[in-house]
Chain A
């Protein structure tokens, strides 16, 4: 099994694989950032998202290509990301690992906090 994905990595991969917003479906850096914020329900820094995208791409879980940008970004290109089969498998493994961990445990847990 590949390295277990962290929560943030899972959020980024899910944002690319199953975007829930119109902007998110465009799957470029800014759109992914917004999608991740939506999924995690908190603001995230751009540095964290792009560093994660870089890392996931180095691991071969995602790939990217650049396309020309518009006036709003002064013509600077956009980098679009897509998830690879390995990435889908890693997400499935991460989910399965959590399910195994919680198997037979009633949720939410009750008792002293």
Chain B
């Protein structure tokens, strides 16, 4: 089959096409699906190959999720109700759900929440000072992930350091991958992982001190940045292969997960 003919018959992922059609109004459904298919076959597929073309297509579909569906749903709901629901959910989570699931006192949860809000505020302030936010931003997301896991695991009735370490291993690898994806440099991936690791180490030390948890000798935590460097390098070597604008959607998904 010639390349041109193959491009003419190649189709984007079925599920993505189905999702796209579900997001669009009947009036514009066929025309927009046709435009995307045309761009997919005539421009994107010949330029970047099947895998990246499919990632591009999914990304376009996701842009409709943001731009149309969610906005339309949000516009249908009065702002007062939206804010009210948000505040109610937050309050319910902080006062009932999180304390019930983790066994933490309500006051502890509220203090942790205030800490997260302050950290986010600080991160936003730093963001305004730094033009290139990608690496500090990635590192911060990793830290936030680990802080959440730490808060949940460390405060559970039975403290399980193993679970924390597993989370650490996974997050460091993702940090390396993510850092290399954004910059195309393995070095940046390693730096992102090590940067995250240092903040994570500080968090662990602080947690075990404040909560008087059983722990191995604190000196042993110095191995964490080293482990982060190794895992970050592994992730970065893999992530460097995916340097491409459309990989942002993968990173976004990973960050959300």
Contacts and interface: CB of A to CB of B under 8 A. Distances in A.
B65 interface: yes
B38 A46 contact: no
A60 to B, nearest CB: 16
Among B8, B38, B63, B245, which residue has the most Cβ atoms of chain A within 10 A? B38
B31 A29 contact: yes
Interface in A28-67: 28-30, 33, 43, 45-48, 50-51, 54, 66
A73 B63 contact: no
A86 B31 CA distance: 25
Nearest to B246: A43
Interface string A4-42: 000000000000000000000000111001000000000
Contact of B71 (A28, A30, A51, A79): A51
Given A73-B35, A76-B37, A77-B31, A47 B63 contact: yes
Contacts of B36: 30, 46
A28 B65 CA distance: 21
Contacts of A78: 31, 34-35
Given A72-B38, A76-B37, A45 B67 contact: yes
B60 A47 contact: yes
Nearest to B68: A51
Q: Could you say which interface size class chain A belongs to? A: 20 to 34
B60 A73 contact: no
Interface of A: 28-30, 33, 43, 45-48, 50-51, 54, 66, 69, 71-74, 76-79
Nearest first, the 10 closest Cβ-Cβ pairs linking A and B are A76-B34, A47-B63, A47-B67, A45-B63, A79-B31, A73-B34, A30-B35, A47-B64, A29-B35, A73-B38
Given A28-B31, A73-B35, 17 more contacts: A33-B35, A46-B32, A47-B62, A47-B63, A47-B66, A48-B67, A51-B71, A54-B68, A69-B38, A72-B38, A73-B34, A73-B38, A73-B41, A76-B30, A77-B30, A78-B34, A79-B31
Interface of B: 8, 28, 30-39, 41-42, 59-60, 62-68, 71, 245
18 contacts: A28-B35, A43-B245, A45-B59, A46-B32, A46-B35, A46-B63, A47-B62, A47-B63, A48-B67, A50-B28, A50-B64, A54-B68, A72-B37, A73-B35, A74-B34, A76-B33, A77-B34, A79-B31
